[in-house]
A and B are shown apart, each in its own frame.
Chain A
């Protein structure tokens, strides 16, 4: 199955493919340029034998601080129910500030997941019908799932480990 997908992508969309080392993953994956994601998903969905009809998952990963040069990757998980529910993953490397074309015109269900990625990672999707925050309030500052966003929220730049020290140095007699 994976050979057929690879052959199909190489034949029709070789100019959109990025040649990059494969990850150690349980799902076969391909690296795609952002501008190629809409035609490729459209073609995979409408292909008679491959028939990747189901968008299984849509998310992103932040690679800040690793040896991977591109900051983010948007991950699309597609499933082909006709072929024993075979799954492939399309990975779109994105730099900070870049945007990715939306696939809501192909899969209606991509609407909220794309908004979620925008909300938590700050990756914008072009031609999305309603690109706004979904889980967090509109006046929220920052994108929580980015690696440079502290777990405790902004404004508290100390680590939990330093808390003990901060508290021991506190003058509790102050104000008495």
Chain B
């Protein structure tokens, strides 16, 4: 990769005007959060041109998806957007379930929605917190990260892992929720509101932060749509598209929430949209947790969902099902399916081509980061070098998702 970039940049920036310099930000740089490389041509402190180089964490999950079966691919989705892993799991599982036309019990959907919204909060906390750190405000980050840790502890109790949750299964969840889940989520919601308020006073309403972020790194509505922006970055420009409202999946049509929009798509507006989205996520979680249904944690489909271990050891039928699922995988009808969910960064779509075999014929992931990160040179052109760091943070580009 390095040879490529060197030869490429020598040819691209061969005739540098007098006084212009090339600055190499990344691939491993404190201000990039992930393996992202940007080569920036500077005139003094102004950015004249830049070039993004990606692919440093490319693992070709789409190829692996052709070898893994439908439940196995779940571990790959964990490693895409590693800041809000459960949302990727849920996106993939919903795509498979809608291809197979599986109806899951209400309880499963409730837990999935709660976890999805908590992950959205987690993701946004990282984005706005790190943005503060990048431009020199550390305290807000520390205060809000305490809440993120609380969410992680719930995830840890629920799934046994903090980062790579591998949470769902086709037809349900890995296991039922633990007894204190409801009480803990309620307590979390109660604590999140004041924490967000505190963060608002600490950072967002700070004069220096406002002057530092207002009006920089902006993009117009037309350009954002043309570049394929989705999610908070698109809504910051004033477009109110949200997959949760446009094509409701799970029970998003049954809960009450608003879509916050910004105005000029600048760093400040992206941050404000994310702050408000966290409030809305808390609203959704509170509505769900108060009417949490009882029932099974998986669909009653023994040919799809692995039976419980103690029954596998004692019953013949369960042992057969266990063997069949492990050895032959689950049967997915032949067909093609595109299913999109609203992940923390935007529309996360899974495109599955199935030939009716154990493994998919082709898996494609529409990653929101990949689409909006290509506009980065346009966003920072003409601005200051220090602003490009803030722009990068506010876009929330996750290297694992970008390269896939």
Residues of A within 8 A of B (CB): 23-27, 53-57, 59, 61-62, 66, 75, 77, 81, 84-85, 87, 89, 107-109, 111-113, 116, 120, 132-139, 144-145, 149, 151
Q: State which of B60, B241, B246, B247 has its C-beta within 8 Å of the C-beta of A144.
A: B60
Distance in angstroms between the alpha carbons of A61 and B351 in the assembled complex: 11
B253 at the interface (CB under 8 A from A): no
Residues of B within 8 A of A24 (CB): 333-336
Q: Are B227 and A57 in contact (CB under 8 A)?
A: no
Distance from B39 Cβ to chain A, minimum over Cβ atoms (Å): 14
Distance from B247 Cβ to chain A, minimum over Cβ atoms (Å): 6
Residues of B within 8 A of A149 (CB): 63
Distance in angstroms between the alpha carbons of A109 and B378 in the assembled complex: 12
Q: Are A109 and B55 in contact (CB under 8 A)?
A: no
Distance from B367 Cβ to chain A, minimum over Cβ atoms (Å): 10
Q: Are A56 and B374 in contact (CB under 8 A)?
A: no
Q: Are A23 and B336 in contact (CB under 8 A)?
A: yes
B309 at the interface (CB under 8 A from A): no
When A56-B347, A66-B355 are in contact, do A135 and B55 touch as well, CB less than 8 Å? yes
Residues of B within 8 A of A23 (CB): 335-336
Distance from B313 Cβ to chain A, minimum over Cβ atoms (Å): 28
Q: State which of A56, A57, A137 has its C-beta within 8 Å of the C-beta of B1.
A: A137
CB-based nearest A residue for B62: A145
Q: Are B63 and A145 in contact (CB under 8 A)?
A: yes
Residues of B within 8 A of A108 (CB): 223, 226-227, 374-375
Residues of B within 8 A of A (CB): 1, 3-4, 7-8, 54-55, 58, 60, 62-64, 66-67, 98-99, 223, 225-229, 241, 246-247, 333-340, 347, 349, 351, 353, 355, 361-362, 364, 366, 370-371, 373-375, 403
Besides A23-B336, A56-B349, A85-B247, 17 other CB < 8 A contacts? A23-B335, A24-B335, A24-B336, A26-B99, A26-B338, A56-B340, A57-B349, A107-B227, A108-B226, A120-B60, A120-B62, A134-B54, A138-B4, A138-B7, A139-B4, A144-B63, A145-B60
Residues of B within 8 A of A145 (CB): 60, 62-63
Q: State which of A89, A109, A120 has its C-beta within 8 Å of the C-beta of B371.
A: A109
Distance from A153 Cβ to chain B, minimum over Cβ atoms (Å): 10
Q: Are A56 and B364 in contact (CB under 8 A)?
A: no
Distance in angstroms between the alpha carbons of A138 and B58 in the assembled complex: 14
Q: State which of A53, A59, A85 has its C-beta within 8 Å of the C-beta of B225.
A: A53
Q: State which of B226, B247, B338, B339 has its C-beta within 8 Å of the C-beta of A109.
A: B226
Residues of B within 8 A of A107 (CB): 226-228
Q: Are B336 and A109 in contact (CB under 8 A)?
A: no
Residues of B within 8 A of A66 (CB): 355
Distance from A9 Cβ to chain B, minimum over Cβ atoms (Å): 20
Q: Are B338 and A87 in contact (CB under 8 A)?
A: yes
Distance from A93 Cβ to chain B, minimum over Cβ atoms (Å): 15
Q: State which of A75, A137, A151 has its C-beta within 8 Å of the C-beta of B63.
A: A151
Q: Are A135 and B54 in contact (CB under 8 A)?
A: yes
Q: Are A26 and B62 in contact (CB under 8 A)?
A: no
Q: Are B67 and A151 in contact (CB under 8 A)?
A: yes
Q: Are A136 and B338 in contact (CB under 8 A)?
A: no
Distance in angstroms between the alpha carbons of A132 and B351 in the assembled complex: 24
Most chain B CB within 10 A, of A57, A87, A132, A139, is at A57
CB-based nearest A residue for B333: A24
